Amino acid sequence: MRRAGGLAAVVALILLAAACSVSVRPVGDSTPTPAAAASPGLAAVASPRAQAPSPTPAAGPASPPPTTPPGPTAPGTGAAPTPTPPASAGRPQPAPPTGGNPAPAPMPTPGVMPPPETTPTPVSLPACDEAPVRGFGLVWHDQPAVAQRIGCPLAPEFGVAAWVQTYAQGLMVWLDIPRAAPDLGSASWVVTLAGGAAARHRVPDPGESWDPSTTAPSGAFAWVWENVYTDRERLGPATSPPWQTDAALQRFERGTMLWLREPGSGQPTVYVVDADLAVAAHGAYQAFVDRSFL
């Protein structure tokens, strides 16, 4: 009985299909067949591929939108202008120098030129009626700049008895002016030479008070040491006893030349003071070796 019922069901299905005239199309074609369109009540069958939505890729973590640093809003608009990144953005920056290598020398500024070299103008000697002679004359002619500073001689040079003492930073020179040049005064001179500066002091006659056996200042030097604190500080302590010698002096329009032998070495030296010591008590000085003895 069951078998006969199954056959009957199959026959019934075949008859139903023939009656409906349904055409079978391959799966996947979504276009309805003409028979299906003409048969009322039957809906067009779409392929599963057409109906199924396209696969959506798995969504990953959403990237945050780029943040724009806040900036001023342009007038008349509601949005801030997008800032332009600096030209060096994204470029590798040089690392700061580490110890061991010096920083590179700065490049010269374009357009800046070094000052042009100037040729010094030669200095000429003053035109004088009488020029100095011997050691003074050699210095005067060899050093035109010195000659221009002190000018022409006011009188011939003259010899004078002297005492000289060395100090840590200079010299003291005593000159017997009353006997050598009475017209320049009745007091002897003590000239201190230290630190490029000369000072002239008129002091009482020391008589026989010189003591060449000690380095302690004696005679007129003791008077300066005890009464002129500034010269005492400039000279420093005495380094040798006083030494008796001879000297020479000549006055110029704006200076004085003093010749003497250096204590100890006996080297003849010319001191040029930028002041006439007969009328001025201070002036800068320079020392020159007397070439006439070389």
- Is the residue at 96 inside a domain? no
How many DSSP H helices and E strands does the chain contain?
8, 8
> Does the residue 208 lie in any domain?
yes
Residue 55 lies in a domain: no
| Residue 24 confidence class, pLDDT cut points 50, 70, 90 | very low
Q: Is the pLDDT higher at 138 or at 88?
A: 138
Which structure tokens are listed for 69? 């640093």
Percent of the chain with pLDDT over 90: 51
Count of structural domains, the chain = 1
In this prediction, residue 116 carries a pLDDT of 62
Q: Per the domain annotation, does 287 fall within a domain? A: yes
Q: Please report whether residue 253 resides in a domain.
A: yes
Distances (CA, A) of 209 to 125, 135, 192, 206: 44, 32, 19, 6
Q: How many other CB atoms sit within 10 Å of the CB of residue 99?
A: 5
Exposure string (b/e) for 124-149, b if CB count within 10 Å is 16 or more? eeeeeeeebeebbbbbbeebeebbeb
Average of per-residue pLDDT values in the chain:
76
* Alpha-carbon distances of 157 from 7, 257, 290, rounded to whole Å: 167, 9, 15
For residue 113, the one-letter residue type is M
pLDDT band at 293 (very low <50, low <70, confident <90, very high): confident
Q: Across residues 65-73, what is the average pLDDT?
A: 49
* Residue 86's pLDDT band (cuts 50, 70, 90): low
| The two structure tokens encoding residue 79 | 């949005």
Contacts of 79 (CB under 8 A, 6+ apart): 73
The confidence score (pLDDT) of residue 292 equals: 86
Q: Is residue 247 part of a domain?
A: yes
Q: For residue 241, tell me if it sits in a domain.
A: yes
Is the pTM value of this prediction over 0.75?
no
Side-chain-side CA neighbours of 15 within 13 Å: the count stands at: 6
Max mean pLDDT among 76-90, 130-144, 199-213 falls in 130-144
In a domain, 195, yes or no: yes
The residue range of the domain holding 165 is 157-293
Return the SS3 of 284.
strand
